[in-house]
Amino acid sequence: MVAANKTHIKPHVAVLPSVGMGHLIPLLELAKRLVVEHGMRVSLLVITTNAPLAAQEQLLCSPDLPPDLHIVKLPPVDVDKVISSDIDNVLVLTRLCLITEESLRSLKSVLVALGKPRALVTDLFTTQAFDVCNELSIPAYLFSTTSAAFSAFALFLPKLDSDVECEFIDLPEPIQVPGCIPVRTEDLLDQVRNRKIDEYKWFFFHISRLPLASGVFLNSWEDLEPVSLKAIKENPFFRQIPTPPVHPVGPLIKQEETLSTSDVECLEWLDKQPPDSVLFVTLGSGGTLSLEQQTELAWGLELSQQRFIWAVRKPTDATGAGSFFDVGSEENDPKAYLPEGFLSRTQGVGLVVPSWASQVAILGHPSTGGFLSHCGWNSSLESIAHGVPMIAWPLYAEQRMNAAMLVEDVGVAVKPKVEPGRTIVGRQEVDRMVRMVMDGEEGKTIRKRVKELKESAAKAPDISGSSYDSLSSVAKQWKTDDLGP
Ligand code: UDP
């Protein structure tokens, strides 16, 4: 009788994203899929601080979350106590890791209180969870929130670190990750550009623990990254690490959004525009520009005379990721910093919204025909999944690597050039890029390519698609493992 009942209890797994919308969004999507399509119960463990993020709260309070998905907030971290005032704002990963480390002190008791889930899925910057899972005999999986190319680079990093003495950015040649497309040193992510600072130490700490996972989920699929996926699965270098089993389950992107009044207004405005005519401009959850760069972008948009929606942030010279920890919560009056008269001159052609817009709903709207993006991995996948060509504007983290891949390997983006002797993209170049994507021949070519990929992006995670099957095979294993409730 007891055994018969047990078969009806849905197996329970925990999902633990690290801090930041770019981590929460895909792991929440994974959690939803496990519940809705694979018959699991999921506890989504959320790292919180004493300054809740408006955009995060909106996502977690959505009435559309399925009943077997439970949000469990870890006790809030007092950010001022954990991050001393001498830690620079630029050190985004260091700040993120310090918050995470403090938050995960409660993880063991939370997992025990939840009755020891059958598995835990976490992401790249929360690998302390592996130790806790080890103690509790819970298999720990890793979900890589970025590209397969990046995951291959990450798996190669310990070897690179032991072989190379100088800074990686001083290497004379691009970095040849075995079996993969070489990475130009200027495209290397911020966290590996100076090996002497904490930013690198934290990055290296987490990255080098990747092989400890019981399996690695990749937010990618064969048609998008055939070379990197083949390398990780088959190249002798990765096999001898040994690399845990990899499961491409992408694209897992936000499906629907809870719309605010300003989101609805935005979509109503889009309804009135011709198909493929509007450029959407937003720079991820954290991206910010300097005042000088933002001014050039504004002038470039105006000069191009193309329609646009711009989710604009308060400029800052300090860091390209200025809003990472407070997006959607910060005070923001675009009139205070956009060029004098910009809002009235572009009225009707452009729509400026402060800070945050419902990106997925905008990208999915038939009037949206281009996306100026910082090339965060979720934004890149969302753009491809909706068949929208991109202007690549990478700012921080691994975005330069993503941008290079989108422009040169995948062929769905163009990237503006910085004039010699300058550090910013000038207004003429912005104008040229925007016209090229929205109106030019090159725009037509990348639009055709992204529309092809849109189809394969829809098929892969759909029932019987390759990504669906990949997730299903792990879920089946969790269902049969008799490790817990
Ligand atoms: N996003 C959004 N509205 C905005 C900016 C970002 O909804 O105005 C969402 C976007 O849809 C994506 C996520 O925030 O899912 C950003 O993730 P990504 O990996 O692109 O960049 P990150 O924020 O991690 O740098």
Using the mean position of ligand 1's atoms as its centre, give its distance from the Cα of residue 251 in Å.
14
Q: Judging by DSSP bridges, how do beta strands 12-16 and 41-46 pair with one another?
A: parallel
For residue 396, the ligand 1 atom closest to its alpha carbon is: 25
Using the mean position of ligand 1's atoms as its centre, give its distance from the Cα of residue 171 in Å.
32
∠320-324-330 over CA atoms, to 5°?
105
In whole angstroms, give the CA distance from residue 124 to residue 164.
23
For residues 338 and 345, is the Cβ–Cβ distance under 8 A?
Answer: no
For residue 376, the ligand 1 atom closest to its alpha carbon is: 20
C-beta of 356 in contact with ligand 1 (< 6 A): yes
Number of H helices, E strands in the chain: 20, 13
Read out DSSP for 125-191?
A: T-THHHHHHHHHT--EEEEE-S-HHHHHHHHHHHHHHHH--S-GGG-SS-B--TTSPPBPGGGS-GG
For residues 428 and 301, is the Cβ–Cβ distance under 8 A?
Answer: no
Q: Which of 313, 359, 384 to mutate to test the pocket of ligand 1 (most atoms within 8 A of CB)?
A: 359
Please give the pLDDT value at position 55.
79
For residue 146, the ligand 1 atom closest to its alpha carbon is: 19
For residue 286, the ligand 1 atom closest to its alpha carbon is: 23
For residue 145, the ligand 1 atom closest to its alpha carbon is: 19
In whole angstroms, give the CA distance from residue 200 to residue 341.
43
DSSP-based three-state secondary structure for 385: helix
Query: pLDDT 10s digit of each residue in the chain, 485 long?
Result: 344 444 468 999 999 999 988 999 999 999 999 999 999 999 999 999 887 778 788 889 888 899 999 999 999 999 888 888 777 777 888 989 999 999 999 999 999 999 999 999 999 999 999 999 999 999 999 999 999 999 999 999 999 999 999 999 999 999 999 999 999 999 999 999 999 999 999 999 999 999 999 999 999 999 999 999 999 999 999 999 999 999 999 999 998 778 889 899 999 999 999 999 999 999 998 899 999 999 999 999 999 999 999 999 999 887 666 666 665 556 788 999 999 999 999 999 999 999 889 999 999 999 999 999 999 999 999 999 999 999 999 998 899 999 999 999 999 999 999 988 888 999 999 999 999 999 999 999 999 999 999 999 999 999 989 999 999 999 999 998 654 44
In whole angstroms, give the CA distance from residue 404 to residue 184.
9
For residue 321, the ligand 1 atom closest to its alpha carbon is: 25
Q: Whose CA is nearest to atom 15 of ligand 1?
A: 378
The H or E element containing residue 217 is strand 216-218
C-beta of 284 in contact with ligand 1 (< 6 A): yes
Q: What is the pTM of this model?
A: 0.93
Q: How many CB atoms lie within 10 A of CB 348?
A: 9
C-beta of 126 in contact with ligand 1 (< 6 A): no
Find tokens 């019987």 and name the residue. Answer: 464
C-beta of 322 in contact with ligand 1 (< 6 A): no
Using the mean position of ligand 1's atoms as its centre, give its distance from the Cα of residue 282 in Å.
8
Q: In what order do the strands lie in the sheet with 278-282?
A: 350-354, 307-312, 278-282, 368-373, 390-392, 413-414
Give the Å distances, CA to CA, from 255 to 26, 29, 59, 329, 364: 10, 8, 12, 23, 10
Judge whether 439 counts as a catalytic residue.
no
C-beta of 394 in contact with ligand 1 (< 6 A): no
Active-site residue, selected from the candidate residues 12, 23, 365, 374: 23
Please give the pLDDT value at position 323.
62
Domains of the chain as residue ranges with CATH: 7-252+461-480 (3.40.50.2000), 261-458 (3.40.50.2000)
Q: Whose CA is nearest to atom 13 of ligand 1?
A: 22
C-beta of 360 in contact with ligand 1 (< 6 A): yes
Q: How many CB atoms lie within 10 A of CB 50?
A: 10
Tokens encoding 383 = 């753009």
As a dihedral over the C-alpha atoms of residue 207, residue 236, residue 179, residue 244, rounded to 10 degrees, the angle is -40
C-beta of 300 in contact with ligand 1 (< 6 A): no
DSSP-based three-state secondary structure for 1: coil
Q: Which of 262, 377, 378, 399 to mutate to test the pocket of ligand 1 (most atoms within 8 A of CB)?
A: 378
Using the mean position of ligand 1's atoms as its centre, give its distance from the Cα of residue 323 in Å.
11
C-beta of 378 in contact with ligand 1 (< 6 A): yes
Q: Whose CA is nearest to atom 6 of ligand 1?
A: 284
Read out DSSP for 247-312?
A: EE---------PPPHHHHHHHHHHHTSPTT-EEEEE-TTT----HHHHHHHHHHHHHHT-EEEEEE
Active-site residue, selected from the candidate residues 12, 123, 187, 431: 123
Using the mean position of ligand 1's atoms as its centre, give its distance from the Cα of residue 164 in Å.
34
Judge whether 68 counts as a catalytic residue.
no
Using the mean position of ligand 1's atoms as its centre, give its distance from the Cα of residue 21 in Å.
6
